[in-house]
Amino acid sequence: MAANCLAISKPRGWKGSAKEKTLKVVELSQRVGGLKQKTTKLHKELQRSQEETRALLTKKSKEALKLSNKNVELQDEVDRLKGELAKKDEELIRKGGELVQERKALTDDVANSYVAGFEDVVAQASGIYPEMDFYQLGLGKTVVDGRLVDE
């Protein structure tokens, strides 16, 4: 009969009295409870941090979008001003060409007036002094020491 009987033996590794074992179980239960409270507190802090991060990210995203839109507007303004500047530049070049032509025309008019005036004076002098020879007189001549010489 001894072979068929189960013997209940004392569990190994458990040393000490039942009271000590109960105190250890209570202490471990308190630690687990404290860990649960800390875990819950940390979980709430994590959720709050995530919400703050999302709010900040949303705010910064909106600011970045506004800045991007402002950049597009300013780039359009720069392009418009570049176009206006190119038109003004073309207009200034055209007006510069017109001024060069006008200056040449005025210079030619002044030279023609001078030549015509000089020819009129020579013709008048020839009329007053028909015996004098004025053929040596010209625009490229000048009087030096009482003599007519080339300039």
Question: Which pTM was predicted?
Answer: 0.44
- Provide Rg for the chain, Cα atoms: 57
Q: Count of residues for the chain?
A: 151
Percentage of the residues of the chain whose pLDDT score is greater than 70 = 88
Task: Give per-residue pLDDT as tens, 4-36.
Answer: 555 455 555 545 577 777 777 777 777 777 777
Give residue 24's pLDDT. Answer: 76
The full set of domain ranges for the chain reads 18-150
Give residue 92's pLDDT. Answer: 95
Q: Which residues pair with 141 in a beta bridge?
A: 150
Task: Give per-residue pLDDT as tens, 62-92.
Answer: 999 999 999 999 999 999 999 999 999 999 9
**Is the distance from CB of 117 to CB of 109 less than 8 angstroms?**
no
